[in-house]
Amino acid sequence: MEENNDRDREEVYSERVKAGKRTYFFDVKMTKSNDYYLTITESKRKPKDDGFYYEKHKIFLYKEDFNKFTNALNTAVNHVKDELMPEVDFSQFDREEEVGNEQVSDADSDLKWD
């Protein structure tokens, strides 16, 4: 039986989003048949004995579902922003993070959902 191991796939592009105690990875990968898919990984650092480990959860998103996924995500986020929490200024959560010696703003990211 062939093992379906995500690590065997070629990574084409990767974007990292730090969010408090969590980090999200958006990785575009190529299949053996030269097709592309996206993995979204949530990584959370957890204490363990005298050290720590990373708890990871992964979603595989295939090209035929890209539009449905982004539409549903945008609809859900906009519902929270516009209907449930219209009084909140969500721009207050835009913050700069340091990558190497360079300041990078979350608002300047190429990753846009809408």
The answer to whether position 51 is within a domain reads: yes
Weakest mean pLDDT among 5-19, 26-40, 92-106: 92-106
End-to-end, the C-alpha distance of the chain in Å comes to 41
Minimal CA–CA distance to 41: which of 59, 29, 54?
A: 59
The answer to whether position 114 is within a domain reads: no
Tally of domains in the chain: 1
Structure confidence by residue, pLDDT tens digits, 62-104: 999 999 999 999 999 999 999 999 999 999 888 755 544 454 5
- Region for 19 from its dihedrals, namely left if φ exceeds 0, alpha if ψ lies in -120 to 50, beta otherwise: beta
The answer to whether position 113 is within a domain reads: no
CATH number, domain of 93, equals 3.10.450.700
The answer to whether position 88 is within a domain reads: yes
Question: Residue 86 belongs to what domain range?
Answer: 6-108
The answer to whether position 103 is within a domain reads: yes
Residue 109, pLDDT > 60, answer no
